[in-house]
């Protein structure tokens, strides 16, 4: 898929050709533009310049599709059978749960279509175009390849176009590249055939914004053939994989269906062989099936995820798709953007080189006054109500000058030295010059790339001649700063007796006096380094994927501890030349990917997934949206993210902070642990019921429980404590253990053994009290079996609150909601036993104090057995568990 899109996009390499060659290929004259008739012909050939509409699948079909899962079908069958045998309460409960789950799934699928609609909103509604030698404003949908378009500052680019004329043009391409720095444009050809969007500076792209200057360009691609269109195709084709929980519950449903069917058939056959009435055995088999199916499981899972989503939102992680709550806990790789996520997204002056002292330092004590004035005056940023407005680079320089300038009233500096003329920045010259009146002279301050500024200088700050060796040493100093990922700019000045003409640029920018360098960097967030360390201790690999330059990305990654050396960095150009097999061989060794395209982001995610990694992907731009959908967990930025990225994501970071992802991973792990605890609890309880119902007829005992007893246990005894169990606090060493393998069974690490053994113990205790009570001639033996089964499950839920720690270590009162649920269930059980009104409904009878104590004592054995199991786990005598390394039971 991605290879096809890339091939189509690069079929015609417009950026490698001159503007004249492009116009010749597209058969258009710049002065005339296309004729109306030719534009209509091309519109028929290429189609409208618009992105496709979202899927037209009806809402009803989407809703019905939610009932196709095997677990759902099993529950539907259980509901039908329960209704046929008269258990309408069971039927209603199951139907309510199924409808709730269907609504949640329906909402999630509708979301996918909203991403495409958000993408279409980026298109410009109209365009200024030259046709029939006249300038017209037309609907942007009518643009065709070959149209000559005219853009001014503030215009949204309506199609991908090759520049013909550029007057100080700069565009905001952050939606496509993810980088907030405006891009300087020029018209010269670019030699690199496979240059990425951010490097094709002689083109403008659909959906980007012209922030400065004006442009005349020839349309090269429209609709789906644009860069924005290629992203739309990726969004349309790529489907998001199932979460680990969804896969595990699907497997659980299949396993459960087989076990329930087998046990029911065995029980029914054994009963018939013993001569029992067929109707009685059928009802018993149905009761057993109802007992075995955890009706509350879907509800508890969704409630646990919903509660987790609410808790995450309080920590700035907004969950848009509930299963993502649990998915975060399984993440093994976090592919994160750099700008604004790992960094502050605010340029900051980190080092200054003063030509007066020939020293670079991050601690500024007394800089050359001329250098400070150059920073403040050769600058298009503005101060407005104590706020700096303008280009991020220029506002950072102005902020530094404002902080360091010796004049306390900084605003008077700008007033005392007014700008009288300027030579604007030009991306070919890579410099700008402003002229200011200072007393009786004109001072010209120049700013630009170190190479450009040094080539214009003849003297240093002390007016000494600047030799070739001195110039080389200064250039080496600038390159050393740049090697640390910093953006370096040089400053120089020239004093004139009278104001020169701005038309004579070569004369103005010559014979300059070098003043110094400033190094700027978007610094890492203070909390990012600790968040990266915590990720790594949790067995999660953080990877930086950015549209920024290799040196900058590598420097930030090494400072944060994401990478250790340059060998772990891969550029987009290097990635382009790797086939899938080669990429799979190196993917686990790389930690930084710089200057990458949308298709390459998907390739990276896909390659990691092929290595059995569970991938979370962060992003904010339109270019990130396909990868956000393709990853197991897509995380969009809430502050600087586009609507397209948000719609394609599962999680939105309200503070755009990498540390928030780590908090969300922690919460996801805790929630999955608690879901496992509920499954352990409910499946063990159901196993106890199944063993009780199955063994009694096999040893010649009457059916020990009535259908209403089973319904009570499943809905109340399982439900109330189970819901409270989903709110348990996190296990010790939660973030020091490796992620659970995505394909690991929900029954792994001793759970199925626990369900089998403890379930059998509950069944034997219930059956034992039945045998004893019947032998003693106690008529209400069924009430005792019902009570032992109920209290055993409550003892069990208290014991499994931690998978390894004893209840005393974990804290009896640490989950007050669970204590309340257990206490409430005990109270309700006693009402059923002792109130005549409930005796009639539940067919129970009052127990004596001694009989009640016997039931409690037998149930307490379950608690002791689970505590013994956890002790053996801690001693590593069973299940091969190593608590120290964080592997849980």
**Mean per-residue pLDDT for 259-282?**
76
444 touches 412 (CB < 8 A): no
Is the pLDDT confidence value at 61 over 80? no
Q: In this predicted model, what pLDDT tens digit does every residue of 846-888 receive, in sequence order?
A: 999 999 999 999 999 999 999 999 998 888 777 654 333 333 3
Tell me the residue length of the chain. Answer: 889
Q: Which residue has the higher pLDDT, 268 or 221?
A: 221
- The pLDDT value recorded for residue 97 is 57
Q: In this predicted model, what pLDDT tens digit does every residue of 790-804 receive, in sequence order?
A: 999 999 999 999 988
- The pLDDT value recorded for residue 513 is 94
Q: Which of 69, 155, 172, 337 is catalytic?
A: 337
DSSP SS3 for 555: helix
Residue 88: pLDDT band with limits 50, 70, 90: low
205 touches 157 (CB < 8 A): yes
φ and ψ of 293, to 5 deg? -85, 120
For the chain, how far is it from start to end, CA to CA, in angstroms?
Answer: 42
According to the per-residue pLDDT averaged within each range, which of 277-281, 285-289, 332-336, 727-731 is highest?
Answer: 332-336
- Rounded CA-CA distance 478/456 in Å is 16
- Rounded CA-CA distance 858/855 in Å is 5
Q: In this predicted model, what pLDDT tens digit does every residue of 390-425 receive, in sequence order?
A: 788 888 998 888 887 654 556 677 778 889 999 888
133: left (phi over 0), alpha (psi -120 to 50) or beta: left
What are the CA-CA distances from residue 514 to residues 433, 451, 455 (Å)?
A: 13, 12, 10
Q: In this predicted model, what pLDDT tens digit does every residue of 576-603 receive, in sequence order?
A: 899 999 999 999 999 999 988 878 888 9
Just give the CATH number of 2-51+123-237.
Answer: 2.70.150.10
Residue 604: pLDDT band with limits 50, 70, 90: very high
Q: In this predicted model, what pLDDT tens digit does every residue of 341-374 receive, in sequence order?
A: 888 878 888 889 988 877 766 655 567 788 989 9
Annotation says 337 is catalytic = yes
Q: Which residues, listed in sequence order, are joined to residue 216 by a DSSP beta bridge? A: 150, 165
Q: In this predicted model, what pLDDT tens digit does every residue of 301-313 receive, in sequence order?
A: 777 777 777 788 8
Strands 203-204 and 333-336: unpaired
Name the strand (E) or helix (H) holding 116. Answer: helix 88-120
Residue 578: CB atoms within 10 A of its CB come to: 17
Is the pLDDT confidence value at 118 over 80? no
DSSP assignments along 296-343, one per residue: THHHHHHHHHHHHHHHHHTTTEEESSTHHHHHGGG-SEEEE-STTTTB
550 touches 569 (CB < 8 A): yes
Q: Which residue has the higher pLDDT, 90 or 706?
A: 706
573 touches 194 (CB < 8 A): yes
- Rounded CA-CA distance 828/796 in Å is 18
Is the pLDDT confidence value at 119 over 50? no
Quote the tokens at residue 82: 């329960």
Is the pLDDT confidence value at 191 over 50? yes
What Rg do the C-alpha atoms of the chain give, in angstroms?
35
Report the chain's mean pLDDT, rounded to a whole number. Answer: 82
- Rounded CA-CA distance 461/129 in Å is 50
Name the strand (E) or helix (H) holding 166. Answer: strand 160-172
- Rounded CA-CA distance 302/352 in Å is 55
Give the DSSP letter of residue 444: E
632 touches 615 (CB < 8 A): yes
Contacts of 802 (CB under 8 A, 6+ apart): 728, 731, 809, 810, 870
- The pLDDT value recorded for residue 772 is 95
Name the strand (E) or helix (H) holding 160. Answer: strand 160-172
**Mean per-residue pLDDT for 22-26?**
93
What are the CA-CA distances from residue 624 to residues 465, 550, 620, 646, 856 (Å)?
A: 51, 19, 6, 10, 59
> Which of 14-18, 171-175, 405-409, 451-455 bottoms out in mean pLDDT, i.e. has the lowest?
405-409
- The pLDDT value recorded for residue 117 is 53
Q: In this predicted model, what pLDDT tens digit does every residue of 464-518 receive, in sequence order?
A: 888 889 899 999 999 888 877 788 999 999 999 999 988 888 899 999 999 999 9
Q: In terms of CATH architecture, what is 328-344+525-656? A: 3-Layer(aba) Sandwich (3.40)
Quote the tokens at residue 587: 């993917």
- The pLDDT value recorded for residue 82 is 64
Residue 169: pLDDT band with limits 50, 70, 90: confident
Any idea where the domains of the chain sit in the sequence? 2-51+123-237, 59-120, 248-294+676-885, 328-344+525-656, 350-521
- The pLDDT value recorded for residue 56 is 52
What are the CA-CA distances from residue 686 to residues 683, 711, 727 (Å)?
A: 5, 11, 21
- Rounded CA-CA distance 382/394 in Å is 9
- The pLDDT value recorded for residue 493 is 95
Strands (E), 453-540: 457-459, 487-496, 512-521
Q: Which residue has the higher pLDDT, 730 or 212?
A: 730
340 touches 550 (CB < 8 A): no
Which CATH class, in words, describes the domain spanning 248-294+676-885?
Answer: mainly alpha
Question: Residue 799's closest CA among 728, 736, 745?
Answer: 728
Residue 827: pLDDT band with limits 50, 70, 90: very high
Q: Which residues, listed in sequence order, are joined to residue 319 by a DSSP beta bridge? A: 651
Just give the CATH number of 350-521.
Answer: 3.40.1110.10
Question: Residue 374's closest CA among 357, 352, 392, 359?
Answer: 352
Q: In this predicted model, what pLDDT tens digit does every residue of 616-658 receive, in sequence order?
A: 998 877 778 888 888 889 998 877 767 677 777 888 888 888 8
């Amino acid at each position: 898929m991605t290879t096809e899109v890339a091939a189509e996009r690069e079929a015609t390499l417009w950026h490698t050709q001159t503007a004249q060659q492009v116009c010749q290929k597209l058969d258009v004259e710049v002065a005339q533009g296309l004729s109306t008739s030719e534009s209509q012909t091309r519109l028929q050939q290429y189609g409208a310049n618009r992105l496709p509409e979202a899927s037209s699948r009806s809402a009803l079909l989407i809703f019905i599709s939610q009932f196709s899962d095997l677990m759902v079908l099993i529950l539907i069958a259980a509901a039908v059978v329960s209704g046929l045998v008269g258990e309408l309460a069971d039927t209603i409960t199951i139907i309510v749960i199924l409808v709730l789950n269907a609504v949640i799934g329906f909402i999630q699928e509708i979301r996918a279509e909203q991403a495409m609609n958000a993408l279409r909103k980026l298109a410009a509604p109209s365009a200024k175009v030259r046709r029939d030698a006249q300038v017209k404003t037309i609907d942007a949908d009518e643009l065709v390849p070959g149209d000559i378009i005219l853009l001014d500052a503030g215009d949204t680019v309506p199609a991908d176009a090759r520049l013909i004329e550029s007057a100080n043009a700069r565009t905001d391409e952050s939606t496509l590249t993810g980088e907030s720095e405006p891009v300087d444009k020029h018209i010269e050809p670019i030699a690199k055939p496979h240059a990425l969007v951010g490097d094709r500076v002689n083109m403008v792209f659909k959906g980007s914004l012209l922030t400065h200057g004006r442009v005349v360009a020839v349309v090269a691609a429209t609709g789906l053939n644009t860069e924005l269109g290629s992203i739309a195709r990726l969004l349309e084709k790529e489907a998001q994989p199932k979460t680990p929980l969804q896969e595990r519950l699907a497997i659980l449903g299949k396993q459960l269906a087989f076990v329930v069917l087998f046990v029911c058939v065995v029980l029914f056959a054994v009963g018939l062989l013993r001569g029992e009435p067929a109707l009685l055995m059928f009802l018993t088999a149905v009761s057993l099936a109802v007992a075995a199916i955890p009706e509350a499981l879907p509800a508890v899972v969704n409630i646990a995820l919903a509660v987790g989503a609410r808790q995450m939102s309080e920590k700035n992680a907004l969950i848009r798709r509930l299963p993502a709550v649990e998915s975060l806990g399984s993440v093994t790789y976090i592919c994160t953007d750099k700008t604004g996520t790992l960094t502050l997204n605010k340029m900051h002056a980190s080092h200054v080189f003063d030509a007066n002292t020939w020293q670079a330092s991050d601690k500024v004590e007394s800089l050359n006054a001329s250098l400070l004035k150059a920073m403040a005056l050769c600058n298009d940023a503005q101060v407005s109500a104590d706020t700096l407005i303008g280009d991020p680079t220029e506002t950072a320089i102005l902020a530094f000058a404002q902080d360091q300038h010796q004049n306390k009233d900084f605003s008077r500096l700008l007033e005392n030295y007014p700008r009288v003329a300027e030579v604007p920045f030009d991306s070919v010259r890579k410099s700008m010059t402003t002229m200011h009146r200072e007393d009786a002279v004109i001072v010209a301050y120049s700013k630009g790339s170190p190479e450009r500024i040094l080539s214009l200088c003849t003297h240093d700050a002390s007016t000494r001649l600047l030799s070739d060796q001195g110039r080389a040493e200064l250039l080496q100093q600038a390159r050393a700063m740049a090697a640390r990922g910093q953006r370096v700019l040089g400053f120089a000045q020239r004093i004139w007796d009278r104001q020169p003409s701005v038309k004579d640029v070569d004369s103005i920018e010559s014979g300059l006096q070098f003043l110094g360098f400033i190094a700027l960097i978007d610094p890492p967030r203070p909390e990012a380094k600790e968040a990266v360390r915590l990720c790594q201790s949790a067995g999660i690999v953080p990877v930086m994927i950015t549209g920024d330059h290799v040196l900058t990305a590598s420097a930030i990654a090494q400072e944060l501890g994401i990478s250790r050396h340059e060998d772990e960095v891969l550029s987009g150009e290097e990635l382009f030349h790797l086939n899938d097999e080669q990429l799979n061989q190196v993917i686990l060794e790389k930690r930084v990917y710089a200057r990458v395209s949308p298709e390459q982001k998907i390739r990276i995610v896909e390659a990691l997934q092929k290595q059995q990694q569970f991938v979370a992907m962060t992003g904010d731009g339109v270019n990130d949206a396909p990868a956000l959908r393709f990853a197991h967990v897509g995380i969009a930025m809430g502050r600087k993210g586009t609507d397209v990225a948000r719609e394609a994501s599962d999680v939105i970071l309200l503070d755009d902070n990498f540390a928030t992802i780590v908090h969300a991973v922690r919460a996801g792990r805790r929630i999955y642990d608690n879901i496992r605890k509920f499954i352990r609890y409910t499946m063990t309880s159901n196993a106890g019921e199944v063993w009780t119902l199955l063994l009694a007829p096999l040893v010649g005992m009457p059916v020990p429980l009535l259908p209403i007893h089973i319904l009570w246990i499943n809905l109340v005894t399982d439900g109330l404590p189970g819901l409270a169990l989903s709110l348990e606090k996190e296990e010790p060493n939660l973030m020091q253990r490796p992620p659970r393998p995505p394909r690991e069974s929900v029954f792994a690490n001793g759970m199925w053994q626990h369900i089998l053994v403890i379930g059998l113990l509950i069944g034997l205790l219930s059956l034992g009290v039945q045998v004893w009570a019947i032998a003693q001639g106690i008529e209400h033996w069924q009430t005792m079996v019902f009570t032992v089964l109920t209290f055993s499950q409550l003892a069990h839920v208290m014991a499994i609150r931690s998978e390894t720690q004893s209840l005393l270590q974990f804290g009896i009162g640490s989950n007050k909601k669970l204590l309340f649920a257990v206490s409430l269930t005990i109270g309700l059980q006693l009402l059923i036993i002792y109130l005549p009104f409930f005796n009639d409904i539940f067919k129970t009878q009052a127990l004596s104090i001694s009989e009640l104590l016997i039931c409690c004592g037998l149930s307490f054995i379950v608690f002791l057995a689970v505590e013994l199991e956890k002790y053996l786990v801690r001693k590593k005598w069973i299940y091969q568990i190593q608590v120290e390394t964080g592997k849980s039971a």
